[in-house]
Amino acid sequence: MTRLAGIIGHPVAHSLSPVFQGAAFAQCGLDVRYEAWDTTADALAGRVVSLRDPKYLGANVTIPHKETVIPLLDELGGQSARVGAVNTIVNREGRLYGFNTDGSGFVVALRNEAQFDVAGKAVLLLGAGGAARGIAFALAEARVASIGFWNRTPERAARLAADVARDGAPVHTVSNLDTAGYDCIVNCTSVGMHGGGAEGQAPCDFAAARPTALAVDIVYRPEETPFLRAASAAGLATLGGLPMLIYQGALAFELWTGVRAPVEAMFEAARNALKGERRR
Protein backbone atom coordinates (compact mmCIF):
# COMPACT_ATOMS: atom_id res chain seq x y z
CA MET A 1 0.00 0.00 0.00
CA THR A 2 1.27 3.43 -0.94
CA ARG A 3 1.41 5.54 2.20
CA LEU A 4 0.90 9.28 2.30
CA ALA A 5 2.45 12.31 3.94
CA GLY A 6 2.03 15.97 3.15
CA ILE A 7 2.22 19.57 4.20
CA ILE A 8 -0.74 21.33 5.78
CA GLY A 9 -0.99 25.10 5.39
CA HIS A 10 -2.77 27.94 3.62
CA PRO A 11 -1.45 28.65 1.06
CA VAL A 12 1.01 25.84 0.31
CA ALA A 13 1.39 25.89 -3.47
CA HIS A 14 4.75 27.64 -3.10
CA SER A 15 6.18 25.01 -0.72
CA LEU A 16 9.38 23.18 -1.63
CA SER A 17 8.56 20.37 0.78
CA PRO A 18 6.87 18.10 -1.80
CA VAL A 19 9.96 18.43 -3.99
CA PHE A 20 12.62 17.44 -1.48
CA GLN A 21 10.53 15.09 0.64
CA GLY A 22 9.42 13.27 -2.50
CA ALA A 23 13.06 12.95 -3.51
CA ALA A 24 13.92 11.57 -0.07
CA PHE A 25 11.26 8.86 -0.18
CA ALA A 26 12.34 7.89 -3.69
CA GLN A 27 16.03 7.80 -2.75
CA CYS A 28 15.26 5.45 0.16
CA GLY A 29 13.01 3.23 -1.94
CA LEU A 30 9.96 3.92 0.23
CA ASP A 31 6.47 3.65 -1.25
CA VAL A 32 5.32 7.02 0.07
CA ARG A 33 3.71 9.92 -1.78
CA TYR A 34 4.15 13.42 -0.34
CA GLU A 35 1.45 15.96 -1.21
CA ALA A 36 0.59 19.63 -0.63
CA TRP A 37 -2.67 19.97 1.30
CA ASP A 38 -3.99 23.52 1.14
CA THR A 39 -6.12 23.67 4.27
CA THR A 40 -8.19 26.58 5.54
CA ALA A 41 -8.80 27.15 9.24
CA ASP A 42 -12.31 25.72 8.91
CA ALA A 43 -10.97 22.54 7.31
CA LEU A 44 -8.05 21.99 9.69
CA ALA A 45 -9.79 19.71 12.19
CA GLY A 46 -11.06 17.41 9.44
CA ARG A 47 -7.67 17.24 7.80
CA VAL A 48 -5.96 16.32 11.08
CA VAL A 49 -8.54 13.64 11.88
CA SER A 50 -7.85 12.04 8.50
CA LEU A 51 -4.19 11.57 9.48
CA ARG A 52 -5.23 8.85 11.93
CA ASP A 53 -5.88 6.50 9.02
CA PRO A 54 -3.12 3.85 8.72
CA LYS A 55 -2.27 5.00 5.21
CA TYR A 56 -0.87 8.29 6.56
CA LEU A 57 2.64 8.59 8.01
CA GLY A 58 1.85 12.10 9.17
CA ALA A 59 2.31 15.66 7.98
CA ASN A 60 4.30 18.82 8.10
CA VAL A 61 2.47 21.92 9.30
CA THR A 62 3.16 25.46 8.15
CA ILE A 63 1.60 28.92 8.35
CA PRO A 64 -1.00 29.63 9.69
CA HIS A 65 -1.65 26.36 11.56
CA LYS A 66 1.46 25.66 13.66
CA GLU A 67 -0.21 26.81 16.88
CA THR A 68 -3.88 26.06 16.21
CA VAL A 69 -3.14 22.44 15.36
CA ILE A 70 -1.95 21.64 18.90
CA PRO A 71 -5.36 20.99 20.55
CA LEU A 72 -6.15 18.48 17.78
CA LEU A 73 -3.20 16.23 18.68
CA ASP A 74 -2.88 13.50 21.30
CA GLU A 75 0.59 14.25 22.60
CA LEU A 76 3.46 16.70 22.14
CA GLY A 77 7.09 15.65 21.91
CA GLY A 78 10.50 17.32 21.91
CA GLN A 79 10.45 21.10 22.14
CA SER A 80 6.95 21.59 20.74
CA ALA A 81 5.21 22.18 24.07
CA ARG A 82 7.71 24.83 25.16
CA VAL A 83 7.77 26.47 21.75
CA GLY A 84 3.99 26.42 21.52
CA ALA A 85 4.07 25.38 17.88
CA VAL A 86 4.10 22.14 15.87
CA ASN A 87 5.56 21.70 12.42
CA THR A 88 5.53 17.89 12.24
CA ILE A 89 2.75 15.40 13.02
CA VAL A 90 3.51 11.69 13.30
CA ASN A 91 0.80 9.01 13.10
CA ARG A 92 1.63 6.15 15.46
CA GLU A 93 -1.11 3.52 15.28
CA GLY A 94 -3.83 6.13 15.11
CA ARG A 95 -2.44 8.44 17.77
CA LEU A 96 -1.09 11.77 16.59
CA TYR A 97 2.14 13.15 18.05
CA GLY A 98 3.29 16.72 17.47
CA PHE A 99 6.92 17.82 17.17
CA ASN A 100 8.77 20.99 16.27
CA THR A 101 11.89 20.41 14.17
CA ASP A 102 12.42 24.05 13.11
CA GLY A 103 14.85 25.00 15.85
CA SER A 104 16.73 21.71 15.84
CA GLY A 105 17.00 21.91 12.05
CA PHE A 106 18.47 25.39 12.39
CA VAL A 107 21.15 24.28 14.85
CA VAL A 108 22.07 21.26 12.69
CA ALA A 109 22.22 23.48 9.58
CA LEU A 110 24.70 25.83 11.28
CA ARG A 111 26.85 22.94 12.40
CA ASN A 112 26.84 20.99 9.13
CA GLU A 113 26.76 23.77 6.52
CA ALA A 114 28.61 26.62 8.25
CA GLN A 115 30.80 24.61 10.66
CA PHE A 116 29.40 26.81 13.43
CA ASP A 117 28.74 25.38 16.90
CA VAL A 118 26.34 27.62 18.82
CA ALA A 119 27.47 26.40 22.26
CA GLY A 120 29.04 29.24 24.19
CA LYS A 121 28.20 31.81 21.48
CA ALA A 122 26.32 35.12 21.70
CA VAL A 123 23.40 35.15 19.25
CA LEU A 124 21.15 38.00 18.12
CA LEU A 125 17.69 37.09 16.81
CA LEU A 126 15.83 39.61 14.67
CA GLY A 127 12.10 38.95 14.90
CA ALA A 128 9.89 37.29 17.50
CA GLY A 129 7.46 35.20 15.46
CA GLY A 130 7.01 31.45 15.27
CA ALA A 131 10.32 30.77 13.55
CA ALA A 132 12.22 32.87 16.09
CA ARG A 133 10.52 30.98 18.94
CA GLY A 134 11.59 27.59 17.63
CA ILE A 135 15.14 28.77 17.02
CA ALA A 136 15.40 30.49 20.42
CA PHE A 137 14.42 27.39 22.39
CA ALA A 138 16.79 25.23 20.36
CA LEU A 139 19.61 27.70 21.01
CA ALA A 140 18.87 27.63 24.73
CA GLU A 141 18.97 23.82 24.70
CA ALA A 142 22.29 23.95 22.82
CA ARG A 143 23.75 26.08 25.65
CA VAL A 144 24.48 29.37 23.94
CA ALA A 145 26.22 32.01 26.03
CA SER A 146 23.41 34.53 25.48
CA ILE A 147 20.50 35.39 23.19
CA GLY A 148 19.56 38.95 22.26
CA PHE A 149 16.03 39.58 20.97
CA TRP A 150 15.01 42.45 18.73
CA ASN A 151 11.61 43.01 17.19
CA ARG A 152 9.86 45.95 15.57
CA THR A 153 7.28 45.56 18.34
CA PRO A 154 9.47 45.54 21.48
CA GLU A 155 6.77 43.94 23.61
CA ARG A 156 6.87 40.78 21.47
CA ALA A 157 10.63 40.54 21.89
CA ALA A 158 10.24 40.95 25.66
CA ARG A 159 7.60 38.20 25.85
CA LEU A 160 9.74 35.77 23.88
CA ALA A 161 12.81 36.59 25.97
CA ALA A 162 10.84 35.93 29.15
CA ASP A 163 9.59 32.58 27.84
CA VAL A 164 13.09 31.44 26.89
CA ALA A 165 14.57 32.70 30.16
CA ARG A 166 12.42 30.13 31.99
CA ASP A 167 14.67 27.48 30.43
CA GLY A 168 17.61 29.09 32.20
CA ALA A 169 19.14 30.73 29.13
CA PRO A 170 20.84 34.13 29.54
CA VAL A 171 18.67 36.51 27.48
CA HIS A 172 18.23 40.22 26.88
CA THR A 173 16.20 42.47 24.63
CA VAL A 174 17.67 44.98 22.19
CA SER A 175 15.95 48.30 21.61
CA ASN A 176 18.45 50.07 19.34
CA LEU A 177 19.40 47.47 16.74
CA ASP A 178 23.16 47.07 17.08
CA THR A 179 25.00 44.03 15.75
CA ALA A 180 28.14 44.62 17.83
CA GLY A 181 29.25 41.92 20.24
CA TYR A 182 27.49 38.93 18.67
CA ASP A 183 28.94 35.77 17.18
CA CYS A 184 25.84 35.03 15.13
CA ILE A 185 23.13 37.35 13.79
CA VAL A 186 19.93 35.70 12.57
CA ASN A 187 17.20 37.31 10.48
CA CYS A 188 13.89 35.70 11.43
CA THR A 189 11.82 38.52 9.92
CA SER A 190 10.18 38.58 6.49
CA VAL A 191 12.27 41.59 5.43
CA GLY A 192 13.96 40.73 2.14
CA MET A 193 11.72 37.75 1.42
CA HIS A 194 10.28 37.33 -2.09
CA GLY A 195 6.66 38.49 -2.00
CA GLY A 196 7.00 39.87 1.53
CA GLY A 197 6.62 43.53 0.56
CA ALA A 198 10.15 44.53 1.59
CA GLU A 199 12.19 42.61 -0.95
CA GLY A 200 14.92 45.22 -1.39
CA GLN A 201 15.51 45.92 2.28
CA ALA A 202 17.75 44.55 5.03
CA PRO A 203 16.64 44.75 8.68
CA CYS A 204 20.04 45.90 9.96
CA ASP A 205 23.55 46.88 8.95
CA PHE A 206 26.82 45.25 9.93
CA ALA A 207 29.11 48.26 10.39
CA ALA A 208 29.78 47.38 14.03
CA ALA A 209 29.59 43.59 13.72
CA ARG A 210 32.48 41.36 14.71
CA PRO A 211 34.45 40.40 11.58
CA THR A 212 34.20 36.75 12.67
CA ALA A 213 30.41 36.84 13.06
CA LEU A 214 28.11 34.57 11.05
CA ALA A 215 25.01 36.13 9.45
CA VAL A 216 22.09 33.77 8.88
CA ASP A 217 18.83 34.46 7.05
CA ILE A 218 16.08 31.87 7.38
CA VAL A 219 14.52 33.15 4.12
CA TYR A 220 15.29 30.87 1.17
CA ARG A 221 13.50 32.80 -1.59
CA PRO A 222 15.61 34.53 -2.79
CA GLU A 223 18.63 32.44 -1.86
CA GLU A 224 20.71 35.63 -1.50
CA THR A 225 18.71 38.23 0.42
CA PRO A 226 19.60 41.90 0.97
CA PHE A 227 20.51 40.91 4.56
CA LEU A 228 23.03 38.36 3.31
CA ARG A 229 24.43 40.72 0.66
CA ALA A 230 25.00 43.42 3.27
CA ALA A 231 26.69 40.93 5.60
CA SER A 232 28.90 39.60 2.82
CA ALA A 233 29.87 43.14 1.79
CA ALA A 234 30.96 43.73 5.40
CA GLY A 235 33.21 40.66 5.19
CA LEU A 236 31.05 38.33 7.30
CA ALA A 237 30.44 34.65 6.64
CA THR A 238 26.82 33.98 5.64
CA LEU A 239 24.27 31.18 5.48
CA GLY A 240 20.94 31.29 3.67
CA GLY A 241 17.64 29.72 4.65
CA LEU A 242 17.67 26.59 2.49
CA PRO A 243 19.80 24.48 4.89
CA MET A 244 17.39 25.10 7.79
CA LEU A 245 14.47 24.13 5.54
CA ILE A 246 16.18 20.91 4.47
CA TYR A 247 17.37 19.86 7.91
CA GLN A 248 14.03 20.49 9.62
CA GLY A 249 12.49 18.40 6.85
CA ALA A 250 15.14 15.71 7.30
CA LEU A 251 14.30 15.47 11.01
CA ALA A 252 10.60 15.15 10.14
CA PHE A 253 11.41 12.42 7.58
CA GLU A 254 13.28 10.46 10.25
CA LEU A 255 10.41 10.81 12.74
CA TRP A 256 8.00 9.36 10.17
CA THR A 257 10.17 6.55 8.86
CA GLY A 258 12.93 5.70 11.33
CA VAL A 259 15.25 5.87 8.31
CA ARG A 260 18.24 8.19 8.06
CA ALA A 261 17.27 11.08 5.77
CA PRO A 262 19.18 11.33 2.45
CA VAL A 263 20.11 14.97 2.99
CA GLU A 264 22.21 15.32 -0.17
CA ALA A 265 19.34 14.13 -2.37
CA MET A 266 16.99 16.55 -0.60
CA PHE A 267 19.36 19.47 -1.18
CA GLU A 268 19.80 18.55 -4.83
CA ALA A 269 16.06 18.37 -5.48
CA ALA A 270 15.40 21.69 -3.72
CA ARG A 271 18.23 23.52 -5.50
CA ASN A 272 17.13 22.21 -8.88
CA ALA A 273 13.60 23.45 -8.20
CA LEU A 274 14.87 26.90 -7.20
CA LYS A 275 17.01 27.05 -10.35
CA GLY A 276 13.95 26.24 -12.42
CA GLU A 277 12.03 29.06 -10.74
CA ARG A 278 14.81 31.53 -11.55
CA ARG A 279 14.84 30.49 -15.22
CA ARG A 280 11.09 31.10 -15.42
As annotated, the active-site residues are 66
CA–CA separation, 116 and 184 (whole Å): 9
CA–CA separation, 78 and 71 (whole Å): 16
| Strand duo 88-92 + 95-99: pairing | antiparallel
CA–CA separation, 271 and 266 (whole Å): 9
CA–CA separation, 35 and 166 (whole Å): 38
Other C-beta atoms closer than 10 Å to the C-beta of 37 total 19
Q: Please write down the long-range contacts of 220-223, taking CB distance under 8 Å and 24 or more positions apart.
A: 220/16, 220/244, 220/245, 220/274, 221/14, 221/193, 221/194, 221/195, 221/274, 221/277, 222/192, 222/194, 223/274
Sign of the Cα pseudo-torsion (190, 248, 52, 81, in order): negative
Amino acid at 257: T
Of all helices (H) and strands (E), which one includes residue 265? helix 263-279
Of all helices (H) and strands (E), which one includes residue 92? strand 88-92
Q: What size, in residues, is the chain?
A: 280
